[in-house]
Each structure stands twice: as C-alpha cells, then as structure tokens.
Structure 1
Amino acid sequence: MSELDGRLHTAARAIPFVLPEKYVTQALQAQFIKQEDYLKHSKALNQSAKQMGVEHLYVLSLRGADVIFIANSALLAGMNIERDGDYLPSHSERFTLVRSAIAAGQPIFGNIHDQYGRYRSIAMPVLGGDGVVYVLGADIAVDKLLARQSEARIRAFLIGLLMFGFGVLISWLLASQMTAPLRRFSSAVHRFAAGEFDVRMPMHRHDELGNLASAFNAMGDAISAREHLMRQLAFSDRLTGLPNRVKFAELLSAYLIKTPSWLAVVMIDLADFRYINDAFGFDAGDRVLCTMSDRLSQMQPEHLKIVSRISGNSFVLLLSADNETQTHAQIQMIEAALSESLFLGEQKVNVAIRSGIAIYPLHADTAEGLLRHAEVAMFFAKRDRESSVIYDPSREEDRLNQFTLLGDLREALSENHLVVYYQPKINVSTGLVGAAEALVRWQHPSRGWISPGLFIPFAEKTGKLRGITEWVLCEVLRQQVEWQRNHVNLLISVNVGVSDVEDIQFVDFVEEQLNKAGSAANLCLEITETGVMHKPDAMLQNLARLRRLGVQLSIDDFGTGYSSFAYLAKMPVNELKIDQVFVMSMNSTFESVSIVRSMIEIGHILGLKVVAEGVETIGIWQALAVMGCDEVQGYLIAKPMAANELLDWLSEGPHQPVELTPPSMSNF
C-alpha cells in the first residue's frame, strides 16, 4: 500500500469517529434524509477532511439500484435534490468503485476522473449493526497534489539556484557556511518526503535560510498534528479515551516480546447492557460506560497492565500473574469494583459482569490468538450466565457448531424440518384427556434429531425463537382443523415468552391465525414465567385481548421465575403449571412436597386450574391426586408423540395409571 493509499485508508477508517453512529443507522433505515441533518454532518466531515489532508470524505449506501450519499464533505457541490429529498450525485463514475467494494467485501482503491478533476479514491464497505452494508469513502485530488509537488520542486530549485548564485558571489569564504545548512536542509526534506514528519531544522538564523527553516518546521508541525489526530482517531476509543482493539493488540504484542511470562487477557462484557439503553437512553448508557472506564483506570492494581474498550459494552484487560489462582483473585477484585451500584438520576443500577480469560502462553502465544480465545471464553460465560470462564480448546467445536445452527435453523423453518409432538395432559379425577402440550422437535437432515435443550436457548439468544413460536402456532391450528374432521377436539397448549405477549404485533398474529382456523381453534398459551416483564401494563392489556379472542392462558414453570402475587392476581390466566423441577424432587425432599402443596393451594385460591408436569412415578401421581392437583402430564402418562400417534393413543380410553389411593408420605 502506497503512502497515498495509506492516508486514504486511515482517513476512511476515521469517519465513524466523526459521524455519529445513530445518524448513520437512521439514515440507512430512512427513505428521506432531512436536509439540515445532512448538511450538519456533511460539514463535520468537511472539517475532518481538511484536518486529515484529504479532499473529500463521504458515506454512501445502496438503495435499490441507486447509490446515495448519507453524508458528503463536499456539501451540496455537484449534488441535486431528487426523488422526494434523497440526495443523489450529479455524477456517477465512482459508483462502479463503490459497487465493486461491496461485492468484494473489502476496501478497493481506484482512480476517478470527472468534471472536477482527477482523484485517487478508496471505497471501504462496512457492515452496520442492523446488517446493512454501507461504504466509507475518501478522495485525494491528484491534480492539486501534483501541482503542489510541482510548485515545491520549482521553489526548491529556485532556492537552490539562488543559494548557488549567492555562494558564487560571496566567494569561497562563505561557501562552507552555506553548504552545511543546505546539506542539512536537503537531508531533512528527503526524510520528510519519506514520511518522517517529525524531522525539524534546528537552525537559529535571521536570514532567508532561517525563514525557510522556520516555514519548513511550521509545515512539519501542522502535518505532525494531523497525523497525531488521525492516529488518535484510529487507535483510541472516542467515548472513554481508552485504547481500542487495534491499539490493545499492538501494546499486547510489545508485552509478549519484552515480558515472556504468565499473562492473562480478560475480556469483560457488561451483561444485558441493552436494557440500560432501552430504559434510560443511549446518553445514560454512555455514562455507564464512562463510569466503568473510570473505575478500571483508577484501580490500576499492580498487575493490571492495559485497559482497553474494544466494542460497545466490552472491555479487555491485560493482567500479569504468577499462576491461575492469582489471576482469579485479581479478576474477582475487578468484578467487585465493576459490580458496585451506580445511579442514573435517582435510579439505582447494578451491572452484571461476564468475563472470558485466555492465558499466555497456555492458550496462545500471539496477541490476536489471545484476543480471539478470550472472546470465545466470554461467549460461553454469556451463554451459560457465568461470571467468568477460562478458555477451553475442547469447547471451540461446540461454539462453531452453535454458529452453524443459525443458518441451519433458518433452513429448518423454510424446509419444514421442524415437527410438532404432543404430550397429553390427563384429568386426575377422571383419567380423561382433554388437553395436550405442543412441543417442537427438529429433525436435522444430516445430524438427526437435535435436542430442544440445544436449539431453543440458541434461538432465543439469536432472535429466532419468535419465528419458531409462530410456526408452531400455525402448525397446531392446522392440525386442529384436521382433527375437527375426525371429531377430535383437544385444548392444545403452545409455549410463548413474556416478550411475545408484551408485543402487540404477536397478538395481532395470533388473532389472524385464529380467524383462519375458525371453530377448530382451541388454544392455550403457556407463558414462560422465567422471562422478565419489561412492559407489565402492555402485557396485561394483551392478555385481556387474548382472553376475549377465546384463548386460554397458563403460567408455565410456576415458581422458577419473576412472578409476583400482585401481578399474578391481576393476570387474566386460567391455569398454573408447576415446574417439573419441584414435581420430580418430591421423591427426594419433603420440602418439595410442601412447596407443591402450597402452589396447588395458591392456584385454587386464585380460582385457577393447576397442572403438574414431570410426573414419572406412581407415588408422585398419587400424592398430587391427594393434594387436589387438577391435571398432570409426564412420562408416567405418555411421552410426547406425533399427531397420528396421539390419535391412536387416545382411542385406548381412560389413562389413569393406578387407582387413587392415599400415598405413604414416608416415600417423600
């Protein structure tokens, strides 16, 4: 990469530090960019372009077949306002370069010649947070650059010629005094031309040569200041002032060379940080990040060598230690400091910490290797909700498999690789089956059956669970229409999350599907209690609407989550479902028996039907019957089965496992 291309590359990389991410995100999503916003941010780019010594800085994006400017340091020069306010260029030669860069997925340099002159340009594609690709661009005017170089050569030639003539006139007595400064000046110019911008002319003269040296030094100061600013933008975090990932890797590499001992790279994630942004706004989120940065910087324990912010809510540290035990002690001290409460206005906020640890030389011997392995460890800490995890090479394949699941999951939805199984619920008193729970299964074309315990949590974290839920809902209602033809009418329960019933769009979707199914629809939504309620008022309104639509509602996994009796009393639900953790432990602990009995009594006090899941032994069946539990499900009754198998099973008649006799409480 030439020095010219290097300057273009550095300038393009600095654009995100000048242009607010919020504006770029909004501009990419909007159909129309407000003129005042466009001008404001274009002027900011124009000022940065001058500071960086380039002609233009701009950001472009594809919108259909068109390429549009999101911001342009050239302001409105050569621009037309067309198509309802979209800012489009009056020339399009450089768009070939832009499209090539997007297609290649990497920066591309090119030479552009238009009515304004010749330019050396770069188009650098960037993937936005919402998956939209946009392009960062920078231009250097070749004609102006050549003109300045030509002028500099002419000026240098004239100065040299003047010096030579002056030297001839003054004679050999002054020659030695003139040639030495010229040699120094020539050396400085060559070093400067080679990119050594900190070279200066230490000349204390009051003649023309002194003036030239002063001008040279002033030029060097200005260019050095610009280079320093560009490096600062490229290698430090604008919000906190901490080194960024690139600078951290550079500093870490230096440590690995001079300190070949036990080192730990610790990558820290502020868990659920998005909720702070959602609840208090991005300014509050920035204050939290700055507070965490200050806490880390002010601690500076003996073994904390580097503190860096590498992404939105992630920091990375370099610790020196003698062993793993000492490293854990240091991390616990850091986690304790970061976990201390802070206040956003009058609201007290606690931030949970997840950290991944990679050890040198145990896990890697390069900076990038240590960073990558620390990131892998942090991934598992976040997934398993552990405070800290040390990198384990054996889990690398597990992580890669999980990422491949994302693409496979999309295909599973589109290619109908998912299957709905049904586990019946039986009435404890009569042994009759009037309901069943729909459970999704995944038959992968190459891996076979994939456990729901693997792909459901993964789908939830990657935002794909809503799609699975909607698919199951449609499949259940389709099956009920088919069953209606065979005179089978079962209440089918479908699991949904708290975030689903808080969302009005999901409720609209349910209503639409119920209308399609017509009279065959007999639906119960089991709301997973382990979810956190972010919009309790909206949820209560949506639940009431679902009840009006004829949908029954159940609190699933009762006793394991966040429900309060105050909200439980307000919820228009029909049923409480006791989590199998409590039910299955009735054989081993008397406390579990007491807990289950209390849950049944609470449900009946509230006028709700009580269902117990995870019933696998006759003793538990009898105990639940004596306690007054209304319905049960579990392997003692039947395993989950396909729709056609369920019809065969139902034809066998009542399904009470044994006669109802009082259980011996000595078994519990």
Structure 2
Amino acid sequence: MLLRDREEEERLAALHAFDLMDVAREECFERICRLVASRFQAPVAIVSLIDKDRQWFLATTGFSAQQAPELELSFCAHTIRQSGVFVVDNACLDPRFADFPLVQGDGALTFYAGAPLRTDGGYAIGSVCILDTVAHDLTPEDHAALEDFAALIMQLIERQHLLKRVDAVSGLPNRTQFLSDLQGLIQAGEIRKRVLVTVDALDTDWAHRLTVAEGMVPFEAVLRDMASRIQAFIGTGIKIYHVMVKGFAFTMQMDAVEARGFLPRLVDWLRRAPISENLPMVPTVCAGLLEFEGGSETARELLRKGLFALETARQKAQPYAYYNHQDDVTFRRLFSLLPDITPALKADDVFLVYQPRFSLRDGAHLSAEALIRWNHRLHGFISPAEFIPIVEKSSLIHSVTDWVIERVVTLIANTGYARDKKISLNLSSRDFYGRNVADVIAQRCGAHGVDPAMLEVEITEGEWLRSSAGVIEQLQQLRDMGVDVAIDDFGTGYSNFSYLHKIPANILKLDQSMIFDLEHSAQHQRVAKSIIGVARDLGYRTVAEGVESFGCLEILKHFGCDEAQGYFLSRPVEEALYFQQAALDRFPLKTG
C-alpha cells in the first residue's frame, strides 16, 4: 500500500470514529457557524466533513443548497490537504474551480477561505470556511481567527465524542469505549489467556425500591461506590468500564486455574461491608466470568457472552457464575424459536394431547387436561417447559392461548363430548392482562354452541393473582359462567390458605413434586393430608397430579383426595384417540 493511501485510510478512520456523518444538525455547530459569518462579514459560512467520496455539512449559514456538492466540486476537499488556511481570491480565474456551479451565474460565490478541522492525531477530517461574492483581503489576524474557529469546532467534536464514551454517573468509560478497546486488543492479537468479568452492582428489585424510596442520588452513589470497590480489588492498572445501567466489566490476563479462584474472592470482597453509614445495606452483588483467547469472535460477541454468565448467576440466585457454552446455546435457541410460533400454529406443528383425570371414589373418567406440544420442523419435539416460559414473556401468549381455546371448544362441539365431562385449559398470568380472557372464552363457546361449564381453567397461585382486582373479576366471571377454576401446583411457592377466600376458585391441584414420592416421604404425607383436609373443609375439590403408583393412589384415596391424574392412570393421549376413548363407558387406563 502506498504511503498516501495508508494516510487516507487513517484519516477516514479518524473521521468515522466520531460518528458524525448523516446525523441531524446540532445547534451548537450552527451557532459557531453564525459567529464565523459575523466575524468575517461573509454571507456564507459552512462547517463540513470530507468522507472518501462525499462531503457532509455539519452546519451552514446563508447557504440554501439542501445537499453538499459532490466532492469533485468542493473547495473543502482541497482545504484538508493544506497545512493552514486555504484561500481562493477569485474562483472564476482559477482553472481548478472555474467550472464549479457555485462560481457561475448571478450571486456567484467566487471567494473562498477555509481552515482544516484537525484531530489531536493531526488528521484533517473537514473544514470551516467562508464564501462571498466579493474578495476579502484577509490579514494574518484573520487567518489566525479562522484557525481558532476550526480548533474550537474540533474541541467541541472531541468533547462530544468523549461524552459518548464516558458514563455520566460513574465517570468511567462506557460500553462504547469498552467495545472499541476490546476490539483493538483482538485486532492486535493481544488476547491470549484473558478473562472478561462482568459485575452487577445491585439486585434489580433492590435498585427499583431504592430509587422509588430515595430517588436517584443514593442509587448513583451505590454505583460509584461499587466502581471504587472493584478498582481497589483489581488495582489501578486495570481499566473498569460501565457497560450497563448498574453493571461493570473489565478484562484481565489470567488463566483458567487463576480465574476459578479469582471470582469468588472478588464477590466476597464486594459483598462485605455496608455501602455507607446512611445506607446500611449489604450489596447484593453477583458476577460472571468468561475465559477467552484469540479467535474470530468480535468484541460485541465476547461482551454478550460475559453478560450471559452474569445473567446465569442472577437467574440461579448465585453470587457468581462461569460462562457455559451449552447453556448459552440452549438459551439463545429459545429466542430463535419465537418467530416460528405463529407459522407453527397455522401449520398444525403445534398440537394438543390430553391427560385424563379420574375420580378416586369410583374410578370414573371426569375430565382431561389439554397439554400443548410442539413438533418443530427443524429441531424436532420441543418441550413445553422450554418454549412456554419464553412465549409467556412475549406478545405471542394471547395468540397461543386463543389457539388452544378455539381448538378445544371446536373439538367439544364436533365430537359430541359428554356434557358431564370437562376439558381443562392452562392459563398464564399474562392472559389476564390487556384483554378479558373470560370474554374470549364466552365468545368462542357462544360461536360453537358449547356450554362454558364443560371447561375448566388452571392458574398458578401467586402475588400476580392476589394483587389485581381485574384478575379476580375475570375469574369470578368465569365461575358465573359455570367454568371451574383450579389453583394449579398448590403446595409450592406462594401457596397459602389465608388468601384462598379472595380467589373465586373451587379446585386445588396438589403439586406433583409433593405426590411423586408420597409413598416414601412421611413429611409429604403429613403435608398432603393437611392440605386435602383443610381444602375439603373449605369446600374445594382436590386433585393430585403426578400419580405413578398404586400405593400412592391408595394413600391419596385414604386422605380423602377427590381426583387424580398421572402416568399410573394414563399418559397424555393423542387428540383423536382421547375423544374416541372418552365416549366409551369406561376409559381405558395406561393408554398412550
């Protein structure tokens, strides 16, 4: 490569680093432009940037053209090649510029004077200039003034650039700077045996409560304090970056063995003392660590992996976590599945199976729980435990629930399903927000001539349920329609009898984690017996999930449980087969 070509590439790199091309004009540059025009009593002043093959106006005064002229017709393209002020007294007489459209016709701008905009590295990225219809006799003081304006504009550009790379709260270099520095290490081949450490300064719930209670000042103080703690632990020779609202990152030269001992010590150090006397709380810090070496991965990809390690720690409620490639692949696959949901619903790749439920008093088949399944055309069978949590956090949950409701109601109407049996639908907490799910069920039942009393809905009890009057109203509407309402997974998490009187439910489903080893766990037997007894006294029907042995079935029957479902009685049954067998006098057990 020729020296001149390499210098031009370096100049262009310096220009593009400021990220000023094709952006909206800013008043600060327009104001300086007006000052330049006023100082030199010129009708036109322009601040422009010179790219490889075009010119971009950062600010203009007195210039009516909407777009900058082509680079071949630009005075400023010549200015950036000069060491000082570039002056053209009469462009009409200069063969380099005589054919420019600006210097022809009425009001021709024949006079030009411009000073280059030079970076600290000496690269001229543009110019500030004046144009006029008459010549100016510029003095040395005028030359110095135009160069001062150029220097002032460059200081403003570089200060804005610096602010874009420094976090305003902590004063640390931000994510943009981190990515730039890390990419520089990658390109220089200086990333052997390094680790990328990410730190979350404060639990999200704590951060929210703190800002609501005390405002942003103490929250920002926590962030600055945490940055100081990290720096004190790793030493001043390592740069810390503020890469998220409450998250930091840094890289160090370290091998795998050192890394495994480093992270626990770091978190222990950061969690030790209260943050301040005025805010006596122990920091709920967690951290993630990624080991990496030279390769083809970009800085953005390395940061993403480091943040995944941090998210792993948060999700598992652990103080720290190391990056795991397989977990990352699985996690990312979940998000890649979302765009496939809607086409899968239309193509019948998503389907329902039905797990029958039986009376423990006489063994009669009473109902079935509709369970969603997905046979992905690329990935094969995908467990609902994998895709439903992601769907619930997306805008697709209503579409999926509506599909299930429509499918079940249609089959009830078309198969002559017995009126004394029910189909149970699982509803997400998100189904109750943004619309009235009771109205949706009523409309679909009305459209197909199905009695809503042939349906049951299952919900998981939790804070979302107790804290919303709108949810309670929808559940009461369902009960008024004759729909059974079951509290699913009772006996775990938030389950509490003291709240049940506020919820218009009539069925409790005991969680299968309690039922699974009921034969062998005296503790689970005592808990199950108590729940069944209290539920019966309060007027609830009880259903046991996950029954897998005759012994378990007998215990539940002895405790007075009303109904049961599980593999001992029947595995989930394919749709057509279920509705066929549901019409029999006696439902066959252990099918599927």
Q: How does the TM-score come out when normalised to structure 2?
A: 0.71
Within the alignment, does 1:514 sit opposite 2:494 as a pair? Answer: no
Q: Identify the residue that residue 195 of structure 2 maps to in structure 1.
A: 264
Q: Does the Cα contact within 8 Å between 1:547 and 1:572 map onto a contact in 2?
A: yes
Q: Does the Cα contact within 8 Å between 2:117 and 2:154 map onto a contact in 1?
A: no
Within the alignment, does 1:388 sit opposite 2:315 as a pair? Answer: no
Q: CA deviation at 1:471?
A: 1.5
Partner secondary structure for residue 358 of structure 2: strand
Distance 1:505 1:420 in 2: 23
Q: CA deviation at 1:599?
A: 1.3
Q: Identify the residue that residue 308 of structure 1 maps to in structure 2.
A: 241
Distance 1:654 1:238 in 2: 72
Aligned letter for 1:153? F
Within the alignment, does 1:336 sit opposite 2:271 as a pair? Answer: yes
Q: Identify the residue that residue 398 of structure 2 maps to in structure 1.
A: 466
Q: Does the Cα contact within 8 Å between 1:422 and 1:641 map onto a contact in 2?
A: yes
Q: Does the Cα contact within 8 Å between 1:264 and 1:360 map onto a contact in 2?
A: yes
Within the alignment, does 1:233 sit opposite 2:166 as a pair? Answer: no
Distance 2:404 2:350 in 1: 9
Matches within 5 A, 1:465-544: 465-483=397-415, 485=416, 487=418, 489-521=420-452, 522-529=454-461, 532-533=464-465, 535-544=467-476
Distance 2:298 2:19 in 1: 28
Deviates more, 1:362-371 or 1:383-392: 362-371
Match of 1:119 among 53, 59, 67: 67
Q: Identify the residue that residue 545 of structure 1 maps to in structure 2.
A: 477
Distance 1:351 1:609 in 2: 46
Residues 353 and 219 from structure 1, CA distance in 2 versus in 1: closer, same or farther, beyond 3 angstroms?
Answer: same
Q: Does the Cα contact within 8 Å between 1:14 and 1:234 map onto a contact in 2?
A: no
Q: CA deviation at 1:421?
A: 1.0
Residues 227 and 446 from structure 1, CA distance in 2 versus in 1: closer, same or farther, beyond 3 angstroms?
Answer: closer
Q: CA deviation at 1:557?
A: 0.5
Q: Does the Cα contact within 8 Å between 2:118 and 2:124 map onto a contact in 1?
A: no
Higher percent of residues as helix: 1
Q: How does the TM-score come out when normalised to structure 1?
A: 0.64
Q: CA deviation at 1:621?
A: 0.1
Matches within 5 A, 1:58-73: none
Distance 2:207 2:400 in 1: 28
Partner secondary structure for residue 573 of structure 2: coil
Q: CA deviation at 1:546?
A: 2.4
Residues 459 and 313 from structure 1, CA distance in 2 versus in 1: closer, same or farther, beyond 3 angstroms?
Answer: farther
Residues 282 and 450 from structure 1, CA distance in 2 versus in 1: closer, same or farther, beyond 3 angstroms?
Answer: same
Aligned letter for 1:117? A
Partner secondary structure for residue 306 of structure 1: coil
Within the alignment, does 1:583 sit opposite 2:515 as a pair? Answer: yes
Partner secondary structure for residue 442 of structure 1: strand
Q: CA deviation at 1:630?
A: 0.6
Match of 1:195 among 124, 149, 160: 124
Distance 2:281 2:510 in 1: 32
Match of 2:261 among 292, 309, 326: 326
The number of aligned residues is 517
Deviates more, 1:617-626 or 1:530-539: 530-539
Deviates more, 1:362-371 or 1:615-624: 362-371
Residues 553 and 591 from structure 1, CA distance in 2 versus in 1: closer, same or farther, beyond 3 angstroms?
Answer: same
Q: Identify the residue that residue 173 of structure 2 maps to in structure 1.
A: 243
Q: Does the Cα contact within 8 Å between 1:500 and 1:506 map onto a contact in 2?
A: yes
Aligned letter for 2:449? G
Deviates more, 1:389-398 or 1:555-564: 389-398
Q: Identify the residue that residue 386 of structure 2 maps to in structure 1.
A: 454
Q: Identify the residue that residue 48 of structure 2 maps to in structure 1.
A: none
Q: Identify the residue that residue 609 of structure 1 maps to in structure 2.
A: 541
Q: Does the Cα contact within 8 Å between 2:18 and 2:157 map onto a contact in 1?
A: no
Distance 1:342 1:422 in 2: 59
Q: Does the Cα contact within 8 Å between 1:610 and 1:631 map onto a contact in 2?
A: yes
Partner secondary structure for residue 550 of structure 1: coil
Match of 2:581 among 631, 649, 664: 649
Distance 1:508 1:341 in 2: 53
Tell me the C-alpha RMSD between the 2 structures: 5.0
Residues 420 and 298 from structure 1, CA distance in 2 versus in 1: closer, same or farther, beyond 3 angstroms?
Answer: same
Distance 2:364 2:197 in 1: 57
Q: Identify the residue that residue 636 of structure 1 maps to in structure 2.
A: 568
Partner secondary structure for residue 87 of structure 2: helix
Q: CA deviation at 1:307?
A: 3.1
Residues 335 and 235 from structure 1, CA distance in 2 versus in 1: closer, same or farther, beyond 3 angstroms?
Answer: same
Distance 2:246 2:396 in 1: 23
Q: Does the Cα contact within 8 Å between 1:426 and 1:655 map onto a contact in 2?
A: no
Deviates more, 1:552-561 or 1:538-547: 538-547
Q: CA deviation at 1:369?
A: 5.2
Within the alignment, does 1:420 sit opposite 2:352 as a pair? Answer: yes
Calculate percent identity across the aligned residue pairs.
Answer: 22
Which digits, 9 at most, give the CA deviation of each residue in 1:479-519, with x for residues without a partner? 11123x35454211111123323554434433332332334
Which digits, 9 at most, give the CA deviation of each residue in 1:316-353, with x for residues without a partner? 34456671233222442366379989999xxx999976
Q: Does the Cα contact within 8 Å between 2:356 and 2:570 map onto a contact in 1?
A: yes
Q: CA deviation at 1:556?
A: 0.5
Q: Does the Cα contact within 8 Å between 2:194 and 2:252 map onto a contact in 1?
A: yes
Q: Identify the residue that residue 559 of structure 1 maps to in structure 2.
A: 491
Q: CA deviation at 1:303?
A: 1.2
Q: Does the Cα contact within 8 Å between 2:487 and 2:505 map onto a contact in 1?
A: yes
Distance 2:116 2:77 in 1: 22
Aligned letter for 2:264? A
Distance 1:358 1:523 in 2: 50
Q: Does the Cα contact within 8 Å between 1:637 and 1:655 map onto a contact in 2?
A: no
Q: CA deviation at 1:374?
A: 1.4
Aligned letter for 1:327? F
Distance 2:307 2:34 in 1: 36
Distance 1:360 1:154 in 2: 54
Which digits, 9 at most, give the CA deviation of each residue in 1:74-100, with x for residues without a partner? xxxxxxxxxxxxxxxxxxxxxxxxxxx
Match of 1:290 among 220, 224, 228: 220
Distance 1:111 1:212 in 2: 25
Residues 472 and 395 from structure 1, CA distance in 2 versus in 1: closer, same or farther, beyond 3 angstroms?
Answer: same
Q: CA deviation at 1:453?
A: 2.1
Residues 283 and 585 from structure 1, CA distance in 2 versus in 1: closer, same or farther, beyond 3 angstroms?
Answer: same
Partner secondary structure for residue 615 of structure 1: coil
Distance 1:188 1:399 in 2: 48
Q: Does the Cα contact within 8 Å between 2:15 and 2:125 map onto a contact in 1?
A: no
Residues 396 and 222 from structure 1, CA distance in 2 versus in 1: closer, same or farther, beyond 3 angstroms?
Answer: same
Q: Does the Cα contact within 8 Å between 1:579 and 1:612 map onto a contact in 2?
A: yes
Residues 394 and 12 from structure 1, CA distance in 2 versus in 1: closer, same or farther, beyond 3 angstroms?
Answer: same
Partner secondary structure for residue 561 of structure 1: coil
Distance 2:281 2:342 in 1: 37
Distance 1:340 1:603 in 2: 47
Partner secondary structure for residue 302 of structure 1: helix
Distance 2:460 2:521 in 1: 25
Residues 557 and 428 from structure 1, CA distance in 2 versus in 1: closer, same or farther, beyond 3 angstroms?
Answer: same
Q: CA deviation at 1:265?
A: 1.4
Distance 2:276 2:543 in 1: 40
Aligned letter for 2:226? L
Q: Which ranges in structure 2 are unaligned for 5 or more consecutive residues?
A: 1-8, 36-52, 58-62, 91-114, 127-137
